[in-house]
Each structure stands twice: as structure tokens, then as C-alpha cells.
Amino acid sequence: MKKNPLVPAGAVACAALLCFGGCAMTAAVSVPPATAPSTFDVKAYGATGDGKTLDTAAINKAIDAAAAAGGGTVEFPAGDYLSYSIHLKSHVALHLGIGATIVAAEPTADLAVGFDAPEPNPVTEQYEDFGHSHWHNSLIWGENLEDIAIYGPGKIFGRGLSRGSNRRDVLPEERTLPGDGRPELAAPERARLNLALPESARAAIAAVKSGPFGYPGRDTLPAGVGNKSIALKNCHNVIFRDFTIYHGGHFAILATGVDNWLCDGLKIDTNRDGIDFDCCQNVRVANCTVNSPYDDGICPKASFGLGYVRPTENVTITNCQVSGYDEGTLLDGTRQRKVMGEGGTGRIKCGTEANGGFRNITISNCVFEYCRGLAFEEVDGGSMEDITVSNITMRDITNAPIYIRLGTRLRGPEPIAIGTARRIKISNVVAHNVAAQSGVLIVGEPGHPIEDLTLANIFIDYAGGGTAEQAAREVPAEEPQRYPEPSRLGTMPSWGMFARHVKNFDVSRVEFRATKDDLRPTVQLDNVAGAAFDAVKFPHAAGAPVFVLKNVEGFAVHNSPGLPETNRAEKIAAERL
């Protein structure tokens, strides 16, 4: 009998005799060959999940097995998996099952046992802090990978990670020892916990010769210390979904040069930055909740960390919440303000690292609570353009609710020039109980204005209480190499808005209120060309003007209760209205 060409090699052929009028037929049945497993349980590779035994080797063996099989899912069933550096591989997903926690182990006091060493990066470390220029010294890291995923509902606990100074950071329960509520412990408690780096490591760090921007040096850590929960470099096609990070170190997530990245449904309650995506393209951050009292919550950046300029572009941030409550109190549901008595950082911010610039950024349907306001900071020579923000609510905001800065820090290799900030549209914002110091703060540079800026459908109520002395204050130019923050410019001489070096500025359907009478003017414009205010409500205290204008060319006010119709094309050197 001839071999049936439809039967695959290795299959078993079975004959069945069927009799129909003396005729016989032979039927062939094929059995598919055995296939490689697609799920790899870390316990099958020796992990204990008891929270005491180091499971690093077993976890990495499971990942290696999945990669060798062509891809698969590494499964973490319920348990606490104590580990140092975990190495991601292409085509491999980590599934943190319910009740599963990956716990960052604490390095030994002499650092003989700990996390992977930070990789050399001499090109960039003159321009970026230690955290932005190293990835391997992390709990979970991957470089030059494709098609990877981490998904929940389990947890990552960065217990043994450092936020940039000691061998590991202080835990919330250690911060709240009697008489101490600060991010770092007082010296006696730090000594008791033995968190300090070895003297030899501190001496080596102190001996490093820093460049013109003070790097390397700041936040520098020796080999063995880990400072990030998850770090990715030069990866694409990445999914992070539905897991929790608690006490995540310098960065809960640092992604640099990562493209086609979906970050969805994460809960992060951490001791420094939440989600930083740096030089990344085609990014979607959705449905994430980030509490980060000591630093930024969700933070697009475009640093020189890769050793070349690359923009962060095509980014959507939507349906997210950021806050600055005491660390740990987001996850336990109490949202306490005992340690962070004046509110944490917490916010959404583009910058400050911005060599590559930001393009095509959309932020929508987000909530800010007990933190700083929305910030866009282009100070390192890149282009910040084509940005829209809509449907934002804010409560208990501790500085400028909206801060836009085009500056001259220019932290990068020569040649480097002042960048651009243009085509920025912000609409549908409600902010309640905003600190009195800054107001909406928009600052460009002489000869380099922020261009084509629109603010529309905005309601902000401020604490108020400003004085006549504050109203008379002249705002100095910001020192070029200082870190850009609203507080750097001090208390502003206007309480609702201050704009300097701006071109084509449209403000419509904007209302400001002050809880206490504020003796400063509502709005001050300085070196602004083309300012149009339509249907605005800008109250003012008796004797205080609504507008202070300095070097303003092209100024119009229309349809605004209590304000005269105005349309002036000439240059206004100085005037109070």
C-alpha cells in the first residue's frame, strides 16, 4: 500500500475495515506530535515563595526555559518570592497570580550579595543622574527585547530597593517612628537599622569627579544596590497590566527607548517616581493610579540617557489618578496626610529631562489629588509641541495648577540651543483649593516665547490671602541651570495667572476665585504678544487691578463681566487695568 501523503511524519495510521457489498476501505487517523509547554511555574524550577529563601535563581531558570521554548508565560502562584535581579527575555510574560508578590531582597551590609551591578554608561552619565543612566541595577530589567509582558493581579514590593542614598530606603512603618515623620530617618534610627552604604562605597562615590552639571555623583549607588522595581531599555511591543507596585525605589517603572507600550490598570504606591517613560514612542498609559508623595507620579521624559537625542512622542495618558498622600495609604485605602502634611509631589509632568522633546502628547480624563499641578518643562533644547490636555480635575494642589516652562538649563552635549514650546491646548479643567503662591504660571525665555497657547473652559479656586507687598514684587529671571519648579520664582505678584515671554495666547471661558481676599492683581502679562481674553471671570479685591501689563503688544478682552471691551493693537509698555 502506498503511503498517504496527508499523514504527517511520526503520525500513527490506523486501519478500519468497512464492508459495503464486499468492498473494503482503509481510513487514516493522525495524532499531532507532543508540543512544548506554554506555562512555566517558578515553583517547578525550585522557587519556594516563602518570603525567606532567595528565589532569584529559580525565577531566572523559569524565564530561561520559557525563552528557550520559543516563548511562554512564567507563572507566579500565591506566595512571597524574595529575589535580586530578574532578567526578562523576549517573547516571555510574567504572570503574578492573585496572592503572589515579588519582594526585592535587601543587599547584605557589605554589598557582597545583592542586585546586578549598574552597567557602564560613560557617554551619558555626565548629563543625567544615576537613576536615569543605568537599568541593570533593578529588581526586574530587560534590554533590547521584544514582545514582553508583566501582568497581574499580583504585586511587586521593592522592600530592599534604594531611592538613591542608602543601601535601601526607609519603609513607611520605619518613617513613622516616634518623633520622626521625614522621608529619611534621623541618624540614630538609621544607624540602628544599618541602612547606610559601606564606608568604602561612600568614599568611592565622593571621589568621582563630576562634570559641569554635577553628574556623576547625585544618587550614585555602588554595585549590589538596586534602585528600580522595573527597568526597560530599547524594547518594543510591551504590555504591563493590572499589577501593583509598592515602595518601588527611585523608579517604580523606568522605561527608556521603549516603543509600542501599553501600561494599563496599574496601582502604584511608592517612595519616589511612579511611571517614567523616557525617549519612548507609541505609548498608552490608561486606568493607572499612582501615589508618589516624594516625587512625580506619571512622568514623560526625553533625556540623553540613551547617548543620543530621541523624542518622546505619540503618547496618550487617560483615565489616571495621581496623588501625594502618605506612602502606603493609597493601597490600604486610608489616604492619610500625617507625614505629608503639606501635600506630596504626585503630579503628571513632562520633563524636566527633555533633550529629545515631546510631540503628539494627549492627556485626558485624569484626577490630581493632594499633590502638585500639571507641568510641562522643556529646558534642555528639545521641541515641546502638539500637546492637548482635557477633562482634568484637581483638589488640594500645593503649587501652580498649570505650569509651562521653556528654559535654558541646556543639560546636554554641545552643540545645544534653546528649544521650542508651541501648539499647546489645555481645556476643561476644574481645580479646587489651590495654593496661593503661584497661580497659573507660564514662562518662556527672552527671544524664545511659548507660542500658540490656548486655555479654555477652566475653573480654579485659590486659597488667596496675597498682600500688597507681594503685588509690588518684581519677578527675577530664573537662573539657567537651576531645576525648573514654580517655587524657584518665589511668590508671584499676581494670584490667578502670570505669563512672561508668550506669543499668541488665547484664554476663553476661564474663571478664577479666591477664598480669601487677595490684594495682588488677578493676571500679570510680561512681554506677551497677541493676548486675547474672551468670556473670562476675573474678580479682584478693592483697589487691586485685574490686569498688570508690561511690554504687551496686541491685547483684547471680550464678553467678560465687569471688564470693558478692549481691542488694542499697539504696544503697552506698562499699564494697570
Give the per-residue pLDDT at 13.
Answer: 36
End-to-end Cα distance, the chain? 104
Q: Decide if 525 contacts 493 (C-beta within 8 A).
A: no
Q: Decide if 510 contacts 496 (C-beta within 8 A).
A: no
Tell me what percent of the chain is helix, strand and coil, each rounded to the nearest 5. 10, 45, 50
Q: Decide if 545 contacts 575 (C-beta within 8 A).
A: no
Give the per-residue pLDDT at 544.
Answer: 95
Q: Decide if 256 contacts 302 (C-beta within 8 A).
A: no
Q: What is the number of alpha carbons within 13 Å of residue 485 lying toward its C-beta?
A: 13
pLDDT greater than 50 at residue 428: yes
Give the per-residue pLDDT at 23.
Answer: 43
Q: Decide if 297 contacts 271 (C-beta within 8 A).
A: no
Average pLDDT, stretch 457-470? Answer: 97
Give the per-residue pLDDT at 9.
Answer: 41
pLDDT greater than 80 at residue 486: yes
- Written as nine digits, the cell of 185 is 530617618
pLDDT greater than 50 at residue 389: yes
pLDDT greater than 70 at residue 546: yes
Q: Which of 198-207, 381-390, 520-529 has the lowest mean pLDDT?
A: 198-207
| Length of the chain (residues) | 577
Specify the CATH number for 231-576; select among 2.160.20, 3.30.70, 1.10.10, 3.40.1360: 2.160.20
- Please report which confidence band the pLDDT of residue 187 belongs to, taking 50, 70 and 90 as the band edges: low
Phi/psi for 336 (5° steps) reads -85, 160
Can you give the pTM of this predicted structure?
A: 0.92
Average pLDDT, stretch 415-422? Answer: 96
- Provide DSSP, 133-198: G--SSEEEEEES-EEEEEE-SSEEE-TT--SSSSSSPPPHHHHTSTT--SSS--HHHHHHHT-SPP
Give the per-residue pLDDT at 210.
Answer: 87
Give the per-residue pLDDT at 122.
Answer: 83
- Please report which confidence band the pLDDT of residue 217 belongs to, taking 50, 70 and 90 as the band edges: confident
Spell out the domain ranges in the chain.
1-34, 40-206, 231-576
- Please report which confidence band the pLDDT of residue 218 belongs to, taking 50, 70 and 90 as the band edges: confident
Q: Which of 518, 487, 336 is nearest to 398 (CA)?
A: 487
- Written as nine digits, the cell of 409 is 538649563
Give the per-residue pLDDT at 190.
Answer: 55
pLDDT greater than 90 at residue 141: yes
pLDDT greater than 70 at residue 473: yes
How many Å apart are CA 152 and CA 41, to the nearest integer? 15
Average pLDDT, the chain: 92
Give the per-residue pLDDT at 31.
Answer: 58
Residue 558 pairs with which residues in a beta bridge?
Answer: 534
Same fold, 40-206 and 231-576: yes
Give the per-residue pLDDT at 341.
Answer: 84
**Structure-model confidence comparison of residues 215 and 521, the more confident one:** 521
Give the per-residue pLDDT at 24.
Answer: 41
Q: Decide if 103 contacts 69 (C-beta within 8 A).
A: no
- The tens digit of pLDDT for each residue in 429-456 reads 999 999 999 999 999 999 999 999 999 9
Average pLDDT, stretch 372-384? Answer: 98
Write the burial class of residue 182 (CB in 10 Å: 0-12 exposed, 13-18 middle, 19+ buried): exposed
- The tens digit of pLDDT for each residue in 21-77 reads 444 444 455 656 666 789 999 999 999 999 999 999 999 999 999 999 999 999 999
Q: Which of 30-34, 138-142, 299-303 has the lowest mean pLDDT?
A: 30-34
- Please report which confidence band the pLDDT of residue 11 belongs to, taking 50, 70 and 90 as the band edges: very low
pLDDT greater than 60 at residue 183: no
- Written as nine digits, the cell of 54 is 532567595
Give the per-residue pLDDT at 212.
Answer: 84
pLDDT greater than 90 at residue 474: yes
Average pLDDT, stretch 502-531? Answer: 98
- The tens digit of pLDDT for each residue in 327-357 reads 999 999 999 999 888 899 999 999 999 999 9
- Provide DSSP, 438-492: --EEEE-BTTB-EEEEEEEEEEEEEEE---HHHHTPPPPPPPTTSPP-GGGG-S-
At residue 274, what is the residue type?
A: G
Percent of the chain with pLDDT over 90: 83
Give the per-residue pLDDT at 185.
Answer: 53
- Please report which confidence band the pLDDT of residue 175 belongs to, taking 50, 70 and 90 as the band edges: confident
Give the per-residue pLDDT at 188.
Answer: 55
Give the per-residue pLDDT at 535.
Answer: 98
- Please report which confidence band the pLDDT of residue 173 belongs to, taking 50, 70 and 90 as the band edges: confident
Note the Cα 57 to chain centre separation in Å. Answer: 30
pLDDT greater than 70 at residue 1: no
Give the per-residue pLDDT at 423.
Answer: 98
For the domain made up of 40-206, the CATH class stated in words is mainly beta
Strand intervals (E) in 281-435: 281-286, 289-291, 298-301, 312-318, 321-323, 349-350, 358-371, 374-378, 383-397, 402-406, 420-434
